Amino acid sequence: MGWNRVTDKALNPIISLIYPIPALGWLPLLMLWLGIGEILPITIIFICSFFPILYNTATGIKTVDKHYIQVAKSLGVSDGKILTTVVIPLALPNIFTGLKLESGMAWRVIIAAEMVAIPTGIGALMMKVESLMRIDIIIVCLIVLSLMCFLFERVFIFLEVKLTGRWR
Amino acid sequence: MSSIKLKNISNYICQNINLEVIDRELLVLLGANGAGKSTLLNIIAGLIDYKGTVFFGSKPVDKLTVNKRRIGYLFQDLYLFPHLDVASNIAYALRIKSKMTEEIKLRVKELLRMLKIEHLSYRYPKELSGGEKQRVALARALALSPEVLLLDEPLSSLDVQSSKYLRTELKQLQRKLGITTIYVTHNLTEAEEMADRIAIIEKGNIEQIGKAEEIFFSPKNKKVFEFIGAPNILNCDDCHMLGRGIVEVNCGGLSVIVYDKGRRIKKIALLPRDIYVSEIKPPGHTNVNRFKGTITDINIISEIVRLRIKVGKNNLLVELPYHIFEGMNLQIGDEVFLILKLRKIKAL
């Protein structure tokens, strides 16, 4: 997608239809298909993150100036090599934008899923202690959630700076 | 190295173009914006569709995609890969072609030395000046020792001084490497300084091909005439030797000094851009080839301005860049001083 016009035209309508469905909207269906276990939160995180990251990556690839591709071609480089050595590196800033946004979003979605359907994890714990009026534990859970979102975003910022900081 | 031959080339701009660039020659493709210069270059590179045949040497290359044509292409905006440092930009094609690491290092070093950019090796494109970027892009284009070199207005973004300096170097380098080169520009001075031959292109047609002097002093048709600016041709009433190849000619009351071997000069020719214009009397005591005249017409053509100036019985056409004209505040009827560039006067 973003690179090959045929693939882009074939997949774009499907992605555009699936992309707007909120990750939690899949929950009832996934519970029936997968049952309640380890695989369920992993699938939710995957669905929540996959489409926005794919969308940002494809956009990043599409927005790479075509002249860079022409330059690489004039230097005798094949299309496949141009994708890996020019297009993807130049699309990295966009790819990282997607990763940074979705790292936080994945945490928020999984906590929400745990609150309503999955009996383990921070979200489920918060629901349990709510009935026991343990505000201290709820606040600790919120702080942990906040820290995890922050930490994951920082990891991606670190990687982005490491990979693109010198030339951007 | 090989020659480039275009046979009946047509596409949405170019119309049945036939052109031959001799082996090791530097041909300048000269034309106004939108004339089809870059399109023709892209056709040779194989970047756009066309009808007709392109030959490199005796081989037709129409069926070869751009990455198999063995060209070096310097784009107008250079497009250095921003994520690679200078050495990696130059080594890019060599690495992809899986050359040995030692071989790559040696070639990159050689190119860095040739283009005098050894000190920039680890810098990224954003840390380079315009002139430095030009050198890096040229080194990158030369890395695989291409058969032909295509240069699309490579110096257009540089200031006048840097552009002039790089022109000289580029020409020397082209001579040294003996690589067949097509150089696209809309700048007449650049064309005159760089070219072995010039091809004038206008609305997708090649209007005239020849050496700079032929083009500038004998334009073949009205289109070429209008584009390059008609030369001033003055009839000489009499002439006499002043000694050592210097001749004084009298043209309608103007006494003009010309370099010549002393034959009978009937006419002299001078291009409009080889006449300096000044609002004030130029300093110095000499009056050689300096005249006072009155502006009778001002014609602004995008980046240049053409002035018609009456000097004695002669009407001279003078050309100057718009930015200089803008700073002079000249009006029709103003008196101005002219200096004719001695070395540019051609005795006919």
Q: Which residues contact A47 (CB under 8 A, 6 or more apart)?
A: A23, A26
Domain ranges within chain B, ordered by starting residue: 4-228, 232-347
Q: What is the pLDDT of residue B252?
A: 82
| CB atoms A167 and B70 under 8 Å | no
Q: What is the CA radius of gyration of chain A?
A: 20
Check whether domain B4-228 has CATH 3.40.50.300, yes or no: yes
Which residue from B65, B82, B144 is facing A75, i.e. has the nearest CB?
B144
**Residues B133, B85: Cα–Cα separation, whole Å:** 11
Task: Assign domain A5-164 to a CATH class.
Answer: mainly alpha
- Check CB contact of A128 with chain B, cutoff 8 Å: no
Q: What is the pLDDT of residue B8?
A: 94
d(CA B25, nearest CA chain A) in Å:
21
Mean pLDDT of A91-112: 90
Q: What is the pLDDT of residue B284?
A: 73
CA angle B234, B291, B230 (to 5 degrees): 35
* Local structure of residue A10 (DSSP, 8 states): H
Nearest in space to A98 (alpha carbons), one of A8, A3, A18, A19: A19
Q: What is the pTM of this model?
A: 0.81
- How many residue contacts between A and B have a Cβ separation below 8 Å? 67
The predicted-structure confidence for B35-58, as pLDDT tens digits, reads as follows: 999 999 999 999 999 999 999 999
Which residues from chain A sit within 8 angstroms of residue B96, using beta carbons? 75-78, 81, 85
Task: Quickly list DSSP for B287-304.
Answer: -TTEEEEEEEEEEEETTE
Q: Which fold has domain B232-347?
A: OB fold (Dihydrolipoamide Acetyltransferase, E2P) (2.40.50)
- Mutation test of the interface with chain A: which of B81, B140, B147, choosing the one with the most A Cβ atoms within 10 A? B81
- Check CB contact of A68 with chain B, cutoff 8 Å: yes
Q: What is the pLDDT of residue A168?
A: 83
| CB atoms B83 and A164 under 8 Å | yes
The predicted-structure confidence for B298-314, as pLDDT tens digits, reads as follows: 988 877 899 999 998 88
- Check CB contact of A66 with chain B, cutoff 8 Å: no
Sign of CA dihedral A60, A66, A68, A70: positive
d(CA A6, nearest CA chain B) in Å:
20
Domain ranges within chain A, ordered by starting residue: 5-164
The ipTM (two decimal places) reads 0.83
The predicted-structure confidence for A27-66, as pLDDT tens digits, reads as follows: 899 999 998 888 888 899 899 888 888 888 998 999 999 9
